[in-house]
Amino acid sequence: MTLASLTHSLSSADVLTPATLELAAGPLTITTTDATTQTVERGWEFVTHCLDDKRPVYGSTTGFGPLVVFSGRDDPEDQCDNALQHLTAGQGPDLPPEVVRATILVRIWSLSRGLSGVSPGALAGLREMLATSFTPAVPSLGSVGASGDLVPLAHVVQSLRGVGFAYWEGVRMPAREALAKAGLSPLRVGGRDALSLVNGTSLTTAAAGLAVASMLRSNEIALALSALLTDLLGAAPAFLSPSLLRAFGHPETVQAGERLSYWLTDTRPSGTRALQEPYSVRCAPQLLGAARSAIGWADQTVRRDLAAVSDNPLFFPGEDHVAHGGNFFGQPAAFAGDVLSMAATQTGNLAERQIDLLVDPHRNAGLPAMLAARAGEQHAVQGLQVVATSLVAAMRRACTPASMQSLPTNLHNQDVVPFGTQAALTALDQARSLRLLHGCLGVTLRQAAHLKPDGPTAPHCAELLADLAEVVAPIERDRPLDADIRAAADVLDRHVTARFPELERRPDDDA
């Protein structure tokens, strides 16, 4: 059963985390506290009061971007239409539905702070949508991550209005048709609704958050697979000496060593290995500890974004203040996305080298080349290794930082931009490639264990192998392995999550 097939619930009092963003993949019921309702109504009433007083409010009484020097349209609904129509220009393949739905969840939480002046009705429309499987079709190209994710979010709102396309139960169709199937009325926007809905970095934050959630699991999976590799090789865990790792000076490396030691509890080394293992075994705690540190920093950054308001202007009724500024500038998540991509790629390098170690008869503790019991008549994981090499090469090519690729646009109104959306979406792609690399390594380790009758000696490693063996049969005769790789990746996610509940997707995570 996939997460998209389940129904979950959240309260507006809950704290959003990267893990809880994954809950939006399927129907998600959001209950609203009285405090949230009152806050949103107060903000909306204040905006209405400001407009009635003829105060200058960007995007409500003015044009957009560099056209701020001109007056906007007089009718509020017409002005909202004006904002959305010119931004509906995105290109490229649609974003994955789970990313779009997580984006809408992030936007709901930001708007629920009451500082954007959105109407209660528009916010309710977003909540009602998430409770169904309706998902706007949103092109992947168009945002520079400044002034918010304007173009993608415009496609979200347009779809909810019945313009463009949407997905209903996974099928792409005209948005108006999908709304009818979902039992939803087309969204009506007025006042400042249109700009409130599009003028934030919600796609950037959602994609970065989903990447963090995936990478946290993958870091634990990398430790588990490294331990299973160590065990199957018969290597001594001397490289995990607590004194040694403490001397390295990085707490995350010590923690990685402790995790590896957990997986290797009661391992029985063969005594036939060289004094020092290759770096793909011996330096695993240093590499994966550093990756965990990088993911931790990105996690903290995303959590701050999830608790923030990314919009312009903001409205503070208690101060009778309309503040114009740049909270829609997604630089923090841009840096976080690039860091995640680097951590994912180096972790992927480790997995690919560990596969190479396992298929090399000169280094793999006497196992046959390519783990093929009848070499030549059988090729076992030979094709799988080529796939792993291809994945790593693609990850390296995609690892060019986006967060400093600034290009001026919008008549130099947006004269410096962070490209946070591209950084975050790339990080999410990298995280997904890493999952597949770990699936490749999981299949390879399962085949290595099949050819080694005594199997792993550490109980935790044996349990991990048993779970893999349930979905990946031994390669006695060459067969397609594409589905096995994906199945192994799924099993690895479930296995580490069962042992470390902090990796679970839960609505009650602490910040």
Look at strands 314-316 and 165-168 and give their pairing: unpaired
pLDDT at 167 over 80: yes
Q: Name the pLDDT band for 509 (thresholds 50, 70, 90).
A: very low
Q: Looking at the structure, tell me whether residues 213 and 180 fall in a common domain.
A: no
Mean pLDDT of the region 382-402? 96
Taking the C-alpha atoms of residue 346 and residue 424, their distance in angstroms, rounded to an integer, is: 17
Supply the pLDDT for residue 4.
Answer: 53
Residue 171 forms part of a structural domain: yes
69 pLDDT band (50/70/90 cuts)? confident
DSSP state of 378: B
Greater confidence (396 vs 83) lies with 396
Residues 227, 155 share a domain: no
Length of the chain counted residue by residue: 511
How far apart, in whole angstroms, are the C-alpha atoms of residue 192 and residue 54? 14
Task: Find the mean pLDDT for residues 110-129.
Answer: 95
- Tens digits of per-residue pLDDT, 318-352? 999 999 998 888 999 999 999 999 999 999 999 99
Residue 265 and residue 132 share a domain: no
> 216 and 194: one domain?
no
Where are the strands (E) in 61-152, listed by range? 91-94, 135-136, 139-141
Mean pLDDT of 482-497: 97
pLDDT at 1: 37
The answer to the question of residue 320 being in a domain is no
CA distances from 178 to 19, 161, 173, 203, 461 (A): 28, 11, 6, 22, 47
Same domain, residue pair 118 and 264? no
Q: Given this model, what pLDDT does residue 412 score?
A: 78
Q: What is the DSSP string of 212-275?
A: HHHHHHHHHHHHHHHHHHHHHHT--GGGG-HHHHHHTT-HHHHHHHHHHHHHTTT----S-S-S
How many domains is the chain built from? Answer: 2
Amino acid 3: pLDDT: 47
Return the active site residues.
Answer: 58
Q: Which of 475, 228, 449, 452 is nearest to 372 (CA)?
A: 475
Give yes or no for a cis peptide into 313 (omega within 30° of 0): yes
pLDDT digit string, tens, across residues 424-437: 999 999 999 999 99
For residue 70, the domain's CATH number is: 1.10.275.10
Judge contact between 192 and 116, C-beta under 8 A.
Answer: yes
pLDDT at 99 over 90: yes
Q: Using CA atoms, how far apart are residues 153 and 134, in angstroms rounded to an integer? A: 15
Residue 417, pLDDT score: 85
- Together in a domain, 223 and 137: no
Q: Are strands 8-11 and 28-31 parallel, antiparallel or unpaired?
A: parallel
pLDDT number for residue 504: 61
Do residues 153 and 103 touch, judged by C-beta distance below 8 A? yes
Residue 413 pLDDT greater than 90, yes or no: no
Query: Which of 332, 357, 311 is closest to 113 using CA atoms?
Result: 311
Q: Which of 197, 459, 474, 141 has the alpha carbon at shortest distance from 328? A: 197
**CATH number reported for the structural domain that contains residue 262 in this entry:** 1.20.200.10
Residue 44 scores a pLDDT above 80: yes
Residue 339 in domain: yes
Task: Please tell me whether the overall predicted TM-score, pTM, comes out greater than 0.85 for this model.
Answer: yes
249-301 pLDDT, tens per residue? 999 999 999 999 999 999 999 899 889 999 999 999 999 999 999 999 999 99
Q: Do residues 306 and 108 touch, judged by C-beta distance below 8 A?
A: no
- Distance between CA atoms of 216 and 300, rounded to whole angstroms? 12
Percent of the chain with pLDDT over 70: 97
**Which residues are 171's β-sheet partners?**
168
In eight-state DSSP terms, residue 62 is B
- Three-class SS of residue 411? coil
Residue whose structure tokens are 């109504």: 41
Domain match, 212 and 232 both:
yes
What number of CA atoms fall less than 13 Å from residue 226's CA on the CB side?
Answer: 35
For residue 453, what are the domain limits?
207-310+325-406+417-503
Q: Are residues 130 and 218 in the same domain?
A: no
Per-chain mean pLDDT for the chain = 92
Which residue in 306, 323, 305 sits closest to 116, CA to CA? 323
